[in-house]
Amino acid sequence: MSTEAIVRRRRVRAALGWLRVVLALALALVWWTELRPQELGGPADYVMVSGTSMLPTMRTGDLVVVRRAPAYAPGDVVAYRVPEGDVGAGHQVIHRITGGSGDGGYVLQGDNRSAPDTWRPTDGDVIGEAWVRIPRAGIVLQFVRNPFFVGPFAAFMAAGLVLIRRRPAEDPDA
């Protein structure tokens, strides 16, 4: 291989390295500003749909990214925590607003339900409005969080780190 080809190859590798860094920084910035969970001070939260109350709009196993909004109105699909003092307090529910207000409590109902929810969450109970729905992603996340997956996966990764040898660097003089 000629010296010119080696220099060209090194420049391409360096450019690709910088491109990876810029891409990683851009992805981190998008995550920080748009997708950071509310527990970390961000605008988003993640809700896994379970049950049939939102059929056909949402199905069991769908992952929904919700974001805080300045106000909510009838027709909005929102996730909320069951208010303190009520049966099921703290559980997350994702349903459509059909009436009410943030101060007096919203009236919510699942798209596949004939009656409204018994809870009347206020603005403080609302986690956010549905922003993005990722079909079936919740099932994958549930699987990945399972200890029967995590244990073997961690063992596989540890074995891989021990057994894999680094390739020797290319000798430019060869």
Q: What are the tens digits of pLDDT across the range 20-52?
A: 999 999 999 999 999 999 999 999 999 999 999
149 located within any domain? no
Q: What is the 3-state secondary structure (H, E, C) of 60-95?
A: CCCEEEEECCCCCCCCCEEEEECCCCCCCCCCEEEE
14 located within any domain? yes
Give the pLDDT of residue 169.
Answer: 61
Give the pLDDT of residue 18.
Answer: 96
Coarse DSSP helix, strand, coil percentages of the chain, rounded to the nearest 5 percent: 35, 25, 40
Measuring CA to CA, which residue among 100, 8, 6, 95 is closest to residue 53? 95
Distances from the Cα of 39 to the Cαs of 29, 44, 130, in angstroms?
A: 17, 9, 17
Q: Can you tell me the distance from the alpha carbon of 116 to that of 140, in angstroms, rounded to the nearest whole number?
A: 31
pLDDT tens readout for residues 120-169: 999 999 999 999 999 999 888 888 778 888 888 889 888 888 888 666 66
Whether residues 26 and 73 share a domain: the answer is no
Domain limits at 68? Answer: 42-138
Q: Is 159 left (phi over 0), alpha (psi -120 to 50) or beta?
A: alpha
Whether residues 28 and 77 share a domain: the answer is no
- What would the mean pLDDT of 89-113 be, rounded to a whole number? 96
159 located within any domain? no
Whether residues 62 and 114 share a domain: the answer is yes
26 located within any domain? yes
Into how many domains does the chain fold?
A: 2
